[in-house]
Structure 1
Amino acid sequence: MSQASAPKAGENGGLAAALTVLAEEHAALGQLFATFDSRDGRHLVAKALDILHAATGRVIVTGMGKSGHVARKIAATMASTGTPAQFVHPAEASHGDMGMVTSADAVVALSNSGETAELADLITYSRRWCIPLIAITSRRNSTLGNAADVTLALPATGEAGALGLAPTSSTTMMLALGDALALGLLDRKGFSAEDFHQLHPGGKLGQKLLRVADLMHVEKEVPLIAETAPMSQALIEMTSKTFGCVGAVDHKGDLVGIITDGDLRRHMGGDLLAQSVTAVMTAHPLTIATQALAAEAVRIMNEKSITSLFVVDGARPVGIIRLHDCLRAGVA
């Protein structure tokens, strides 16, 4: 075998090791679930949720090293799901950032060993000012575990990999437990998809949650004509608004019909301009509500092969939305 074609050292073993890590972390998550699905575990999680939900300030999430990276993610997840939260670096807290923590807050501290020296000042501060402290650690009887109001102790699984030294299974379990707390609080607060959209206006998630009201044209942009008006006026309104249609309203201002390019072709003749809007329009047009998702409007327009939908409040037209506007906003 030539040197060029020889397998690299550890290539096959590296694949096996990678898959082993996945299997070991999967098993660790299974043990984590079993731990907190027990009677005592459920009680501890419920107590932690009570504390976090009762906090009138922010949830302060802290940790050092790899636990600190996980803590940042937990704080971000909480903040994006309706629980005001922020990460405070424990070492920086000892040098002035302790002022970020108030008596209205609750602290969630992460430390695999429970003996992280940099956490000492923050632990002491929380005890002095009666700030609730929740610990996530692998050692219940550690300094952190003993100081906390609630200690969520991770099961003793050992770290994944042949050496069992790098934080792997422990950080995976911390992350999962943080997600559980964040989404448990989301459920308790009754956080809705609309609330979620307010905190995620950008990116694919924001596009998915856009409402019709966010994209519709309103007021003078909406092509409307009285149902009793002649078609000559309807054509002027239809041409000036460039939606390829005009809505017909009755004496109460309710939408009763629509005139499209197709309706014009079907009624093409010498007397078209003299006819009334009622004679040409298609009654009972498709409409959509302002609070419907823009994705629903796209679905309707695609299914019916149309390019615009009138937006109504009850029966009264309050806007119009175009397929082009939805696609330009990234709604598909």
Structure 2
Amino acid sequence: MKPFPLRAGGLTGLSIAAVLAVGLAGFRGIAAARESAREEAERGFRDETAGRARAMETRLAGIRSDLAFVAASSPIGRLREPADTENLQGAGAQAALLLFLRGHPEVVRVVVRSPRGEALLHTGRRGGVPVLWVSTRPTGLEGAAVAPGRPRLTTTLALASATADGPTVETEVEPVTLLSPEPAADGRACRLRDARGTLLARDPTRVARAGRTPERATASVHAEAPVTSDGWSIPGPWRLECEQPEELAVARVEPVTARYRTTLLLNLAAMALAVMLGAFAVQQTRRRERLEANAREEARVRELERQLFHAERLATVGRLAAGIAHEINNPLEGMSNWLSLARSELQRGRTGAAEEHLGRAREG
């Protein structure tokens, strides 16, 4: 029975080692899954940033091409003097510019200038609605982009005429509208910089909405992509920089990680219970062995006591037999002596003495 506890103890040790191995492998798997998800998110985020940069280039080129089409196909190209804007031809030009603003919400104003640089038409926005400005001087109400100190992103198209130089059309775009044509995921923030690194636009609402502290802001996924800006006033190529918190990047693997973590904890709990039951079984086995050893020892002691009692009985019988033999042998020896004397007296013919000896022999 001695080897069994050793085997049970070895199984308990193996169970503990298995628990540790499974736990270590599980946590390594979780870490590897998070790292793989982070790398995949970085690749996807870089591709998405590059796609946003290409979309920005397409929008900038589309604004120029649409503006050129509107200017060439409307009375705008025939405007020369401020008086030209007061007739039917001017009304058609105004309508064309207002429709252009309505179709391009990123454009904050469009100015048509004469060959001498005079402002012939000036359209802008008030509360996001396209309007025709009577004054040619910007007051700050035409939009944030034309206020002093703000980045000015403009492009100018010269409309040549067959007889003379035609007017020029100048349009201005709010740079921040190029960053967010569609609502992005919370926590994602992008910045637009020019070739010198000057910040053109950023979306502060997303940074505030993310609610990140400076300590947490360091754990982010970064990506950047160049933006071609041919024909616009700010020198290019521009650079689109985007970032996203790392916890959002690995969010898609979190449900799987949580389920695996729960399964792992359940397995650890089950194996810990198995280890406890195994230890309890080993303890009970050792206790049973101690009880069996005590029972065998008690049986051996009882056997020795029985043998001792039997030996004592035999010794008592021997002493009794010896005493009885001694008590019997003494009278017999006396009688034998008296008979020997009586025989000796008879041989001498002394019958009286022989009878006396025989009488004493009978008395014992």
| Interval of TM-score (by shorter of Structure 1 and Structure 2) | under 0.3
Q: TM-score normalised to the size of structure 2?
A: 0.22
Highest Rg: 1 or 2?
A: 2
TM-score by length of 1: 0.24
Higher helix content, 1 or 2: 2
